[in-house]
Structure 1
Amino acid sequence: MPTAFPLPDPALADRLSERLARVDAALAEAVASADALADDAGRHLVTAGGKRFRPLLTLLAGELGDGTRPELVDAAVVVELTQVASLYHDDVMDSAPVRRGAPAVHTVWGNSVAILVGDLLFSRASALVAGLGPEAVVLQSRTFERMCLGQLHETLGPRDGEDPVAHYLQVLSDKTASLLATSAQLGAMFGGCDDTVVGAVAAYGEKVGVAFQLADDVLDIASTGDESGKTPGTDLREHVPTMPVLLLRQRVARGEGTAEDAALLARLDADLSDDATLAAAVADLRSHDALAATRELAVRWAREAAAELEPLPDGPVKQALADLATALADRAA
């Protein structure tokens, strides 16, 4: 199967494509169930596809050592199972109607089934990671804890007196970036890399994850529907906090904003269900320097991610990881 992002070395791309196919086969086996409902619901998002970005990161990091080790396939399945299970829960909380181009599980079987099948997939991931040894079990459990805390803190919002921007960055780190860091860390661990390499790719994964989400915040405003695959301003319409709005809100709260800033914020906080109203708000935010500041943040996090690669040996793997960070920076620019 093709990889989620271009790789500079054809031989590396071929190896990873073959191993991703093995991951997909193992993933299908991992979600299978004797119970018909659990089987149908468990397979739903796996068969819908997805970029398999986290498994690819695991396999790619494994190439820094011995990429042929069979544990790498199991580790790649673990991180994808964890990701898919979290999506079952997220879509219930967000009332998301579609995921990976297919109806979200809760829209087909209801919220209770979606939550329970998400739990089932988490249990399958736990069983698989147990076979990888105690260090992997501890890492997986700590990652799961961070993902839950990230979702909890996103749901509750910042506490009184807490900086909303810092709160949001921590949510991105915990909810999304933690699993990317673990994906890379497991790959380097089971590729047999030394601690310096393992630590470097973990730090890289964490920062790439934050950069990716900040770039998504930019694209929700700046892209056309054809470019992003979704209606511009989707997050605005649902009043989902994103960095451009948080930066605008911060400016107004500090008394640093103009009357136009305050008026725009009031419109963003109002009902955006009408398409024309939403489009006008998107257009105004698109030209606001809060969006430019979010771009700068995304680029900064991507560059910091690339800097974490300095201890890695030069070669196609290091280049591929650096290219990904560059692509994220370009995506936000």
Structure 2
Amino acid sequence: MNPSVPPARRSNTLSSSLGLGEKLFASSDERRFATAIEKGLDEVEAGLLSHMGFADEIADATSRYLLEAGGKRVRPVLALLTAQLGDGNNADVVTAAQAVEITHLASLYHDDVMDEAQLRRGVPSAQNVWGNSVAILTGDLLFARASKLIAGLGSEALILQSNTFERLCLGQLHETLGPKPDENPVEHYLQVLADKTGSLIATAAEVGVMFSNAPKEYTVPVRDFGEKIGVAFQLIDDVIDLSAETGKTGKKAGTDLRSGVATLPLLYLRELALTDSDAAELLTRIERDVNANFYGEGDEAAIDAAVTDLREHAVTKKTLDEARRWGREAVEALAPLPDGSVKKALTRFAESIVERSN
């Protein structure tokens, strides 16, 4: 089966995709900086289409499926931005950015199998089209292709990729097993986000420094920035999951909640329910209706009402505040970097992450 999906929907401008556009870059030097990022993104995109092609017809179709469904290319953008701390874009920076994005895409195939997701980027998830086995094998193929690209960049890059892949796997494992009896569920969840999302975004920031001959002392600041903004990114996703604006999100409000995924608003609600009767009542309704839905006996109107109540509850505002805190800490991590276009762009990058609505 070779379903067609719309052409790749990556934004052609930094302004529309990540808020890094003409209003940010006013001077001629800053505009040249923005143009360099755009040019690099075009090179990354062209390379992705090439590197993710396979001679096998089925493998070719499945591997390109999520790539062609779209995406903001957050990780390549970050690699290209941090590369401007050194010599700027070069072939190695572009290759590393492509490898990071392919690794990300590979992880999505596996995540959707684990989460039994029905949609990804507005199209049916891969396992919903081809089944779990094909989706898992496609993810494996893409991990192999990313490793091949990284291997061509030397041992340091290969070690970084291996360490990142290890954290991705550990994050998924810990998410699957859940917190230990003596472990704080919120702290456990934030660590899962740091491993599953933050680690790869941190790697994207690091390879930009690594392959642009930027000063090595910039490595830790951009790595810390990437990991923290990765956690913020995922926490905003937790808020967006409850959004009533399904036209923007491309998903039904409360998709994660309906699937039994415990995002931060629900974890905060569980904490509050220990001492607050209203929170306990809402938690009871959510758990009852989600469980009934799991067994095909759910009342759609009741679930919709529970999602609305959770969206309007203080715990969702608390989640948004937590995302903004991680965003602020990400910007603070940039303090050792020199003032200029790169720090300005990375700061705006962080702001756009916590301001997004889809």
Both proteins in one fold, TM over 0.5: yes
By how many angstroms is 1:114 displaced?
Answer: 1.1
Q: 3-state DSSP class of the match of 1:232?
A: coil
Aligned mates of 1:221, 1:32 — CA distance in 2: 36
- Stretches of structure 2 that go unaligned for 5 or more consecutive residues are 1-11, 26-30, 294-298
- Which digits, 9 at most, give the CA deviation of each residue in 1:251-277, with x for residues without a partner? 22xx322x2211111111122443311
Match of 1:261 among 275, 279, 282: 279
Aligned mates of 2:71, 2:191 — CA distance in 1: 25
- Which digits, 9 at most, give the CA deviation of each residue in 1:260-315, with x for residues without a partner? 21111111112244331122112222332212221221111110001011111111
The reply to whether residue 110 of structure 1 matches residue 131 of structure 2 is: yes
Look up the match of 2:78.
57
Aligned mates of 1:238, 1:323 — CA distance in 2: 33
The reply to whether residue 229 of structure 1 matches residue 229 of structure 2 is: no
Aligned mates of 2:250, 2:118 — CA distance in 1: 14
The reply to whether residue 212 of structure 1 matches residue 233 of structure 2 is: yes
Q: Normalising by the residue count of structure 2, what TM-score does the alignment of the two structures yield?
A: 0.88
**Contact 1:303 / 1:329 at 8 angstroms: preserved in 2?**
no
Look up the match of 1:319.
344
Q: 3-state DSSP class of the match of 1:271?
A: helix
Look up the match of 2:37.
16
Tell me the amino acid that sits aligned with residue 285 of structure 2.
R
Aligned mates of 1:297, 1:117 — CA distance in 2: 35
The reply to whether residue 171 of structure 1 matches residue 192 of structure 2 is: yes
Q: Number of residue pairs matched?
A: 329
Q: Normalising by the residue count of structure 1, what TM-score does the alignment of the two structures yield?
A: 0.94
Look up the match of 2:67.
46
**Contact 1:306 / 1:325 at 8 angstroms: preserved in 2?**
yes
Match of 1:6 among 9, 16, 19: 19
Aligned mates of 1:73, 1:305 — CA distance in 2: 24
Q: Which deviates more, 321-330 or 50-59?
A: 321-330
Q: 3-state DSSP class of the match of 2:213?
A: coil
The reply to whether residue 285 of structure 1 matches residue 310 of structure 2 is: yes
**Contact 2:99 / 2:146 at 8 angstroms: preserved in 1?**
yes
Tell me the amino acid that sits aligned with residue 326 of structure 2.
W
Q: 3-state DSSP class of the match of 1:80?
A: helix
Cα gap change, 1:320/1:152 in structure 2, threshold over 3 Å: closer, same or farther?
A: same
By how many angstroms is 1:64 displaced?
Answer: 1.1
- Which digits, 9 at most, give the CA deviation of each residue in 1:138-176, with x for residues without a partner? 110000000011111111111111110000000000011
Match of 1:302 among 296, 319, 327: 327
Tell me the amino acid that sits aligned with residue 256 of structure 1.
T
Tell me the amino acid that sits aligned with residue 346 of structure 2.
L
Q: Which deviates more, 133-142 or 5-14?
A: 5-14
Look up the match of 2:6.
none
**Contact 2:272 / 2:280 at 8 angstroms: preserved in 1?**
no
Tell me the amino acid that sits aligned with residue 18 of structure 2.
F
Question: In angstroms, what is the RMSD of aligned CA positions?
Answer: 1.5
**Contact 2:121 / 2:250 at 8 angstroms: preserved in 1?**
no
Aligned mates of 1:117, 1:219 — CA distance in 2: 28
By how many angstroms is 1:127 displaced?
Answer: 0.8
Look up the match of 2:28.
none
Look up the match of 1:123.
144
Look up the match of 1:86.
107
Aligned mates of 2:244, 2:223 — CA distance in 1: 30
- Which digits, 9 at most, give the CA deviation of each residue in 1:12-40, with x for residues without a partner? 22221221111111111111111111111
Cα gap change, 1:287/1:110 in structure 2, threshold over 3 Å: closer, same or farther?
A: closer
**Contact 1:31 / 1:39 at 8 angstroms: preserved in 2?**
yes
Tell me the amino acid that sits aligned with residue 16 of structure 1.
I
**Contact 1:225 / 1:231 at 8 angstroms: preserved in 2?**
yes
Q: Percent identity?
A: 51
**Contact 2:119 / 2:251 at 8 angstroms: preserved in 1?**
no
Look up the match of 1:184.
205
Cα gap change, 1:223/1:185 in structure 2, threshold over 3 Å: closer, same or farther?
A: farther
